[in-house]
Structure 1
Amino acid sequence: MTTVAILPVLNTNGEKSYRAIAGDRQSVGQTAGQALDALTSLLGETDFSALIVIQRFNPDELFTIQQQKKLSELMNLWRTARDRGQTLSPQQQAELESLVETELQAATIRTEVLLQQSI
């Protein structure tokens, strides 16, 4: 089963979109569903199965408001660089990857807590 992270991202105008990430593949949509649909198309999986848990993307002790803002800032820089055929600096890319991994771990922990509460 493919692991997918869907993260909210604010653009420079403060408008929210969503980025779906699976390995080195990424897609963007105005909704989490659009981002997921675009990603599954990129992955070429015709028999895609997943358990989807939708949570509010409010800051918490697992992923703070500062981390959310920095992630959004770096995603905007990444999109600008991509559109220009460029890449982020190695330091920016490492920080972006670290924040994505941290948010994915936080989402995993939140999901485990939800599962425990539903048992």
Structure 2
Amino acid sequence: MTTVAILPIFDADGEKTYRAIAGDKHSVGKTAGQALDALTTQLGETEFSALLVIQNFNPDPFFTAIQQKRLS
């Protein structure tokens, strides 16, 4: 299975886009989904199957900062 990383990047004007990287291949899109879609076309169907793990370390209504601190 190919490992893919999707990272937010900012241009000189502060606009956020996303870069998807898998080995020596990469793509950029306005959203993480666009970057991933563009990358999958480069990988081809035989190379790509997906298991997405999305990490968001910011507090939200379901997992507050206090709860996060208790786990650290």
TM over 0.5: yes
Whole-Å separation in 2 of the counterparts to 1:46 and 1:29: 23
Cα deviation code 1:1-32 (max 9, x no counterpart): 11000000001100100000000000000000
Structure 1 residues without counterparts, runs of 5 or longer: 59-119
- Which residue matches 1:26? 26
TM norm structure 1: 0.44
| 1:6 alignment partner AA | I
TM norm structure 2: 0.70
- Which residue matches 2:39? 39
Cα deviation code 1:69-94 (max 9, x no counterpart): xxxxxxxxxxxxxxxxxxxxxxxxxx
| 1:50 alignment partner AA | A
- Which residue matches 2:10? 10
**RMSD after superposition:** 1.8
* Runs of 4+ that moved beyond 4 A: none
Whole-Å separation in 2 of the counterparts to 1:22 and 1:47: 11
Following TM superposition, by how much is the alpha carbon of 1:53 offset from its aligned partner in structure 2, in angstroms? Answer: 1.9
Matched, 1:53 2:50: no
| Larger helix proportion of the pair | 1
Larger RCO, structure (CA 8 Å, separation 6 or more): 2
How do 1:71-86 and structure 2 match up within 5 A?
none
> 1:51 aligns to what SS in structure 2?
coil
Give the total of aligned pairs: 58
Structure 2 residues without counterparts, runs of 5 or longer: 59-72
| Larger strand proportion of the pair | 2
2:8·2:19 contact (CA, 8 Å) conserved in 1? Answer: yes
**Identical-pair percentage:** 76
